[in-house]
């Protein structure tokens, strides 16, 4: 009963906000709409496609051809129910996240059973019970439904709504052990924005965990399913565009080479406005390696026993370091934080992070107004606030990781921090 009320209220809030005057402002704000996902560019692309002009020839449209065709159909046949459709997608995402967290809870409990023997005597009461974990799914649902970031994302009618839905579906499939579904949805999500490809690693691990059997064959199955679905999706897109693969330059190429330096809540635009031509390639490569390749191997090696943590952390890291982030991405990974409720006691920087989030979210639009409309500030102000926002997110991530390690250690060795009777300190290695 309570859940239905939440859905209805959240849906109404989103639906109502889309129909107010705020919609216009919100759909144009740089924090919400980036050149990749903005509503304006979407209808521009659809219009060009309608007029039989290739929307990928200019710099207007950067979505995948599949999204183009879907929205072309929607805009042609049901243009007036689009607000309803977007709100419905968001509610569906919330539902999928709820189911995902339920599946993850099951995995938690199974894992705990497996390693119960490792737990030291004095930490036995730290072990989680089913009732404790049941609540987390409710919290996940509430967080996603009422998170201002997700609400703004939906009201702005950006395609990140679609992307969040695809990601939630992929994770839901993985949590319940359906290889084909999760790989297919993950392939769709990767096709839209390149960064979800990172999630293939934790997804493979989760699938191997859920589907008991030989791990290696599970990994190979997952990888195969993902590669096949991805190739299929790419091929279908080329088919839509009359057999040419030129759309790749405007979708993947755009994400990787970052030609558009419109300000957003990311870190790329500021660096590349002041970059010399000669060094541009090096820095683009360096930034993209940072976002895509650098953290996956070390994190996987360190947290191979906890793929769900890997999912959370990789989602968060890819949001912070991607080329065109928006608040929708932030809202999505924040929905996973309540799942780590049991780590909150070990986290030391909750207050700072929360304050930083609130302050930078309020300060960002303020300095933007000062910069663009009043002319009394400049890009450095806005970038400073954005940088603080990114720093707050990184603090959150590292705090989470550190808390996990502390809990792991405490479970194994009890809460006294002594080695051979002498006091010791925990270090994150």
Partner 1 sequence: MWASASFVGVLIIIGMPLWWKTTEVYRVSLPYEKISSFKPLSHFVTTELKVLANDDATASKIVSEIQKAFAESDIIKIKIEKTVMSERQQHILRSVVDMEKAVEELASTLDLDQENIFHVVQKKSLSHNIWVGNERIMFFDDEKASETIVKALDGWIYQTSVLRGARSDTPDQARSTRFPPESAYHITLSIVHPRPDTMQVVWNAAEAVEDYIGSFVDELSSLHNFTLKSQWLHLLDFEFQAREIKEASEWGRHFAVRQDRLSLLLTRLEERAATHVSELSTINLALYIVPCDKAPIIIYDNEGRKNPLSIQAFMSPKWGGVVIASPPAEQCSQQVREFEPSVGQVMGAFVSHLRELLGITKKDAIEGAHLEPLRSVSPRRWEVDALLRIRTLEQVTSAERTLQSLAQLLEEISNIVINDEVGASIAAAVSELEAGAGEGAGADAARAGRAHAHAQRAFTHPSLLALLYFPDDQKYAIYIPLFLPIMFPVVLSLRILLLWFMGKPVHKEKTD
Q: Contact between 299 and partner 1 (CB under 8 A)? A: yes
Residue with Cβ nearer partner 1 (376 or 380): 380
Residue with Cβ nearer partner 1 (28 or 416): 416
SS (H, E, C) 77-144: HCHHHHHHHHHHHHHHHHHHHHHHHHHHHHHHHHHHHHCHHHCCHHHHHHCCCHHHHHHHHHHHHHHH
Do residues 17 and 155 lie in contact, with contact meaning Cβ atoms separated by under 8 Å? yes
Q: Contact between 4 and partner 1 (CB under 8 A)? A: no
Residue with Cβ nearer partner 1 (9 or 293): 293
Q: Contact between 424 and partner 1 (CB under 8 A)? A: yes
Site string for partner 1, 79-108 (x = CB under 8 A): ------------------------------
Q: Contact between 298 and partner 1 (CB under 8 A)? A: yes
Size of the site for partner 1 (CB under 8 A): 28
Residue with Cβ nearer partner 1 (184 or 311): 311
- How many alpha carbons fall within 13 Å on the CB side of residue 168? 30
Q: Contact between 397 and partner 1 (CB under 8 A)? A: no
Task: Give Cα separations from 89 to 153, 164, 254, 312, 389 (angstroms).
Answer: 12, 9, 26, 21, 27
Residue with Cβ nearer partner 1 (228 or 294): 294
Q: Contact between 180 and partner 1 (CB under 8 A)? A: no
Restricted to residues 257-296, the positions that interact with partner 1 (CB under 8 A) are 271, 276, 278-279, 281-283, 285-286, 289, 293-294
391: exposed, middle or buried (C-beta count within 10 Å: 0-12, 13-18, 19+)? middle
**Nearest by Cα to 123 from 397, 342, 294, 428:** 342
Do residues 327 and 265 lie in contact, with contact meaning Cβ atoms separated by under 8 Å? yes
Residues that bind partner 1 (CB under 8 A): 271, 276, 278-279, 281-283, 285-286, 289, 293-294, 297-299, 301-302, 405, 408-409, 412-413, 419-420, 424-425, 427, 429
């Amino acid at each position: 009963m309570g859940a239905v009320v939440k859905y209805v209220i959240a849906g109404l809030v989103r639906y109502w906000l889309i129909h107010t005057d705020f919609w216009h402002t919100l759909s144009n704000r740089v924090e919400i709409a980036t050149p990749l996902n903005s509503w304006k560019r979407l209808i521009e692309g659809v219009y060009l496609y309608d007029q039989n002009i290739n929307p990928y020839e200019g710099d207007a449209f950067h979505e995948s051809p599949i999204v183009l065709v879907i929205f072309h159909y929607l805009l042609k046949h049901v243009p007036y129910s689009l607000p309803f459709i977007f709100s419905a997608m968001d509610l569906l995402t919330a539902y999928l996240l709820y189911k995902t967290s339920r599946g993850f809870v099951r995995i938690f409990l199974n894992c705990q059973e497996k390693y119960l023997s490792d737990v030291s005597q004095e930490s036995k009461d730290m072990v989680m019970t089913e009732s404790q974990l049941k609540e987390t799914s409710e919290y996940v649902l509430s967080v996603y439904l009422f998170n201002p970031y997700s609400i703004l994302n939906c009201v702005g009618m950006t395609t990140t709504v679609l992307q969040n839905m695809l990601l939630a579906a992929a994770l839901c499939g993985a949590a319940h052990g359906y290889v084909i579904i999760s790989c297919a949805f993950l392939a769709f999500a990767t096709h839209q924005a390149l960064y979800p490809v990172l999630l293939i690693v934790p997804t493979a691990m989760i699938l191997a965990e859920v589907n008991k059997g030989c791990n290696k064959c599970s990994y190979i199955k997952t990888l195969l399913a993902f590669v096949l679905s991805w190739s299929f999706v790419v091929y279908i897109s080329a088919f839509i565009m009359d057999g040419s693969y030129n759309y790749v330059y405007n979708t993947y190429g755009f994400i990787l080479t970052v030609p558009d330096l419109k300000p957003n809540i990311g870190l790329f635009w500021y660096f590349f406005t002041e970059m010399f031509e000669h060094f541009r390639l090096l820095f683009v490569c360096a930034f993209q390696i940072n976002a895509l390749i650098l953290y996956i191997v070390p994190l996987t090696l360190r947290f191979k026993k906890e793929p769900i943590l890997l999912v959370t952390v990789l989602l968060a890291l890819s949001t912070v370091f991607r080329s065109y982030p928006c608040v929708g991405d932030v809202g999505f990974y924040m929905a996973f934080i309540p799942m780590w409720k049991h780590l909150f006691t070990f986290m030391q920087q909750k207050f700072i992070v929360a304050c930083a989030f609130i302050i930078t979210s309020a300060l960002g639009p303020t300095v933007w107004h000062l910069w663009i409309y009043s002319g009394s500030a400049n890009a450095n102000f806005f970038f400073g606030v954005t940088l603080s926002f990114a720093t707050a997110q990184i603090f959150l991530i590292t705090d989470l990781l550190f808390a996990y390690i502390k809990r792991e250690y405490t479970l194994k060795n009890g809460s006294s921090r002594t080695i051979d009777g002498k006091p010791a300190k925990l270090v994150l290695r």
